[in-house]
């Protein structure tokens, strides 16, 4: 019942988009859409608190299930460079004014949801009235993925903290079923952004 909100419209389907099975052993068989073994380059419009930034975001798979996350300004410098793993994140370079634990943690959660970093070692589970698949995320949280071609945002994921949604990631596709954009919206913090693939 906790996810009654989704029950009316969520129908698990296999889209014609790029999909990667992250954990064949889990029971619900949801497929990740992020090509997690490739380098992804996005143009992004980002709003955090009263700060707006337009720039380039790069996600790259590295060895040992680690991921590199890099954010640069348009026509400008690298602002954030971090390495992500299931265990957490490591700062490689952070522009001093952005070196805030909360902000970096939010980016870590967003990207983890986006690439399904916590799916590697966790088995998924289903919930009543929810035709997607959920996974434990750290100790207290869980992330639920869904996809439905009949929706405008054909697939997405929501991160829950004690049953309250904290972040939603939505994937939008064009008429040819190619990824057009990804939106990331935080509910407890004034932060939202869109990612446009430019690879």
Partner 1 sequence: MSRFLILSVISLPLLLQGQPAYTPMKDETLFREQYIESAGQINTLKASFVQQKSISLLKAKLISTGEYHFKRDGMVRMEYTKPYAYLFILNEDMVYIRSGEKEMHVPTGSSRLFSQISRITLGAINGNILTMKDFSMEVLEDDNRYLLRLDPLNRDMKMLFRQFQVYISKKDLQVERIEMLESSGDTTSINFSGQQVNILLNDALFTVQ
> For residues 25 and 77, which CB has a smaller minimum distance to partner 1 in the complex?
77
**Torsion (CA) 192, 113, 83, 62 in degrees, nearest 10:** -130
Nearer to partner 1, 108 or 196 (CB): 196
Q: Which of 145, 183, 199, 136 is nearest to 14 (CA)?
A: 145
Cβ pair 71, 49 in contact under 8 A: no
Return the residue of 97, 101, 102, 174 that touches partner 1, per CB under 8 A: 97
Identify the residue among 13, 18, 28, 45 touching partner 1 (CB under 8 A): 45
Q: Which is nearer to partner 1, 6 or 108 (CB)?
A: 108
67, 61 Cβ separation under 8 angstroms: yes
Strand intervals (E) in the chain: 40-48, 51-61, 67-73, 78-85, 88-94, 125-127, 130-137, 141-147, 153-161, 164-173, 179-186, 191-197
DSSP-assigned states of every residue in 73-113: ETTS-EEEEEEEETTEEEEEEE-GGG--HHHHHHHHHHHHH
Residue 108 near residue 117, CB atoms below 8 Å: no
Cβ proximity to partner 1, 6 vs 95, nearer residue: 95
Question: Is position 93 an interface residue for partner 1 (rule: CB under 8 A)?
Answer: yes
Question: Which positions from 14 through 43 interact with partner 1, judged by CB under 8 A?
Answer: 39, 41, 43
- Told to check if 81 binds partner 1 by CB under 8 A, we report yes
| Minimum CB–partner distance for residue 32 and partner 1 (Å) | 22
Nearest to 147 by CA among 108, 122, 186, 177: 177
The least distance separating partner 1 from the CB of residue 40, rounded to whole angstroms, comes to 11
Q: What mask, x for binding partner 1 by CB under 8 A, covers residues 49 to 78?
A: ---x-x-x-x-x-------x-x-xxxxxxx
> Shortest approach of partner 1 to residue 96 CB, angstroms?
5
CB of 48 to partner 1, least distance (A): 13
Judged by the rule CB under 8 A, the positions of this chain that interact with partner 1 are: 39, 41, 43, 45, 52, 54, 56, 58, 60, 68, 70, 72-78, 81, 93, 95-97, 194, 196, 198-199
């Amino acid at each position: 019942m906790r996810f009654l909100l989704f029950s009316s419209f969520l129908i698990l389907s296999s889209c014609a988009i790029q999909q990667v099975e992250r954990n064949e052993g889990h029971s619900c068989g949801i497929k990740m859409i992020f090509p997690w073994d490739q380098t992804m380059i996005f143009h992004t419009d980002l709003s955090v608190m009263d700060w707006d930034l337009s720039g380039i975001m790069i996600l790259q798979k590295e060895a040992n299930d680690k991921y590199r996350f890099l954010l640069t300004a348009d026509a400008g410098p690298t602002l954030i460079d971090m390495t992500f793993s299931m265990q957490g994140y490591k700062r490689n370079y952070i522009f001093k004014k952005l070196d805030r634990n909360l902000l970096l943690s939010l980016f870590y959660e967003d990207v983890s949801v986006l690439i399904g970093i916590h799916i590697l070692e966790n088995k998924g589970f289903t919930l009543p009235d929810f035709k997607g698949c959920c996974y434990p995320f750290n100790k207290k949280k869980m992330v639920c993925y869904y996809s439905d071609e009949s929706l405008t945002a054909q697939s997405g994921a929501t991160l829950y903290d004690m049953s309250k949604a904290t972040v939603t990631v939505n994937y939008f596709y064009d008429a040819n079923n190619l990824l057009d954009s990804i939106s990331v919206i935080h509910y407890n913090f004034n932060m939202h952004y869109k990612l446009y693939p430019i690879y």
